[in-house]
Amino acid sequence: MEHWLAISNRDNAEIVMKRHIWGVPKRFVNQIGRTKPGDTLLVYVGQQVVDKDTTLPPAITGCFEIASGVYEDTSKIFITPPKLGDETFPLRIKLRSIRLFDPPVEFKPLIPKLAFITNKTQWSGHIGGQAMRTIPEEDYRLIMNRE
């Protein structure tokens, strides 16, 4: 069993939590193609500036079990960031909820203890430019026990 970190934004993380579906662009076929039913998926959301006085920190919003193999569906259920044009995130997997974190688990306090982040000062390089990545069992347990 693998543990996955799914990199999203808050709008699409809400959709994942409500619809129990994770989707990625076709260019990430190799990443999502390695998932298997029974694997776990933690949803990571990046920092978001709400207004000049409010910035939401990077966080983990929920944990899911992967409940299907990869399938293709081009229906528009996700919100496409402006820089991605008409992307529909067509490579998808179905999910079963394990735990929704309310409030979300802040990510930055975890960084010193996360094994997959080897460069603690340039930590975003371990996440940026990816739709999803595996994380070790010890990191999964650290996040799940952090409420």
List pLDDT tens digits, range 75-85.
999 998 878 88
**pLDDT at position 79, please?**
92
Pick 84 or 61 by higher pLDDT: 61
Of 79, 83, 41, which is closest to residue 62 (Cα–Cα)? 41
Rounded to two decimals, what is the model's pTM? 0.93
With tokens 């709008």, the residue in question is 11
Residue 147 confidence class, pLDDT cut points 50, 70, 90: low
- Arithmetic mean of pLDDT, 20-37: 96
List pLDDT tens digits, range 49-59.
778 888 889 99
Q: What are phi and psi of 61, to 5 degrees?
A: -100, -25
What gap in Å lies between CA 106 and CA 65, rounded to an integer? 21
